[in-house]
């Protein structure tokens, strides 16, 4: 360190502005402080797809999660179908007059069990496929973004 005021403020960062008549102490060079954990956390970057391919425990968790969501969806669709089609015989048993109604020569219970059931099965099939694809898309997005 020199005591010469003209050389005191030259540190390689440029010269700081001079104050008229005041003596400012020499500033130490700037130091960047980082945590040693920051580099350690970024060092290991393993994708979920590689975890699944390696059949590790983490990969099993992700695949099991997808399978559980698909199973929940399938059970919900089956429950909806069983509930609605299961109500038809119950309603016809509780209200026997509906069983004797005939439309265009066909008894109403047959129309309900064929036409309505067919439309419901197709509709639930379409809903199931769309939601299953949505689950798979969410799973593949998870694989892509990690």
Kindly compute the dihedral angle of the four CA atoms of residues 75, 81, 86, 88, in this order, to the nearest 10 degrees. 170
Of residues 25 and 103, the one with the higher pLDDT is: 103
pLDDT value for 63? 80
Closest CA to 119 of 87, 70, 85: 85
Mean pLDDT of 35-46: 58
pLDDT value for 39? 57
pLDDT digits (tens, 9 = 90+) for 77-134: 999 999 998 888 888 889 888 888 898 898 888 888 888 889 999 999 999 999 999 9
pLDDT digits (tens, 9 = 90+) for 43-90: 455 555 665 666 667 667 778 888 899 999 999 999 999 999 888 888
Q: What angle do CA 138, 142, 46 make, to 5 degrees?
A: 160
pLDDT value for 129? 95
């Amino acid at each position: 360190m020199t005591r010469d005021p003209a050389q005191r403020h030259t540190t390689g960062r440029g010269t700081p502005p001079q104050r008229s008549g005041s003596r400012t102490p020499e500033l130490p060079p700037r130091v960047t402080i980082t945590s040693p954990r920051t580099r350690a956390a970024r060092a290991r970057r393993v994708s979920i797809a590689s975890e699944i391919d390696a059949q590790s425990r983490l990969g099993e968790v992700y695949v099991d999660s997808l399978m559980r969501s698909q199973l929940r969806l399938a059970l919900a669709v089956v429950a909806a179908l069983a509930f609605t089609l299961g109500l038809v015989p119950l309603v016809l048993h509780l209200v026997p007059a509906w069983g004797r109604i005939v439309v265009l020569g066909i008894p109403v219970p047959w129309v309900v069990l064929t036409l309505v059931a067919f439309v419901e099965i197709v509709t639930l099939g379409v809903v199931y496929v769309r939601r299953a694809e949505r689950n798979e898309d969410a799973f593949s997005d998870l694989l892509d973004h990690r």
